[in-house]
Amino acid sequence: MSKRYDKIYQFHRRFLKNICRSLFQYDGNPGTIDFQAHEENLLFEGGFSVGFKTDAVKQTSLKNKPIISSGAISGVDVYYRPTLFTPANPNIVGVVKRIPGVDCSICYNTLNYRFPETVNPLIDIYADLLAHVMISTRTSAINSRVTLIPTVGDDKEAIRVSELIAQMYDGESYALAYEISELDGKNIFPIKARDNIVVSELADARRNILADFFSQLGVKTLAVDKKERTNLTEMDSNSQQLKICCDVMLEPRKMWCEEMNRIFGLNLSVKFNESEVLRYVEPQSLEESDNN
């Protein structure tokens, strides 16, 4: 792929990752749990994150406090659930193996604890689609302005013609031509300008791709295609699908909060932060903007 594609792809990948970082809101933090690091572990790193209390850390203020760490899980019970966890945090000294459900709690990104999953494959797919749509939009917009194919006699003349066309592409209302003997009516071939509808269709495609990405995460967005009215059955089916997608990642986080509360006497809770996520797709109204 070209450097232009790679740059646009990386931009959309960062954009979609920031959306994922806003998916969940935690309450009841005792002040020592880094939920941002927690979500980074879950969403992008290994598909799981572990909370535990430690007896010795380099920062003495965290001693005997609940913290988050990545690390290694090993051993399995009869249900293939891990039975041991070894923290990988370099700031923890005298690390010993922890027992899940006893002195640590493992949180998974999805309910699949046998094969922890991240959202990276999903982000890669949609970042690729969005990058191609943006490149196609740019190409279509440029092509809509290309109405001539000039022919020239030699390389020197080609350079002069290219400079003239570049002036017009830069927005000049006119360009001066001189010493161009071959550029006459016989050597200018008109081509049909592309219809502007191509650009608008690509804009619709981008909105549809984003809406589909959000639906995969369980986020309900405004309807993109309003050509056909959605009936009640379709609305109910869509709502059920969104709830399933939402619960895939929300339920293991709820289970983790409950286990952390049981083991360490905390009061953690988590909820789906839909309103925060929608800031990325639904612009504020003028009234809301004036109030901020």
**pLDDT one-digit tens code per residue, 50-109:** 898 877 666 677 778 888 888 888 999 998 889 999 888 777 766 678 899 998 999 999
| SS3 per residue for 84-122 | EEEECCCCECCCCCECECCCEEEEECCCCCCCCCCCHHH
In this prediction the pTM is: 0.74
pLDDT at res. 283:
44
What does the pLDDT read at residue 174? 60
Among residues 72, 21, 68, which one has the least CA distance to residue 46? 72
pLDDT of residue 253: 95
**Residue ranges in the chain whose pLDDT is less than 50:** 182, 185-187, 189-194, 223-226, 231-237, 282-292
pLDDT for position 159:
82
Determine the pLDDT at residue 190: 45
Residue 217: the pLDDT is 86
Name the CATH superfamily, with its identifier, for domain 23-117+249-291.
Upper collar protein gp10 (connector protein) (2.40.500.10)
3-state DSSP assignment of residue 25:
strand
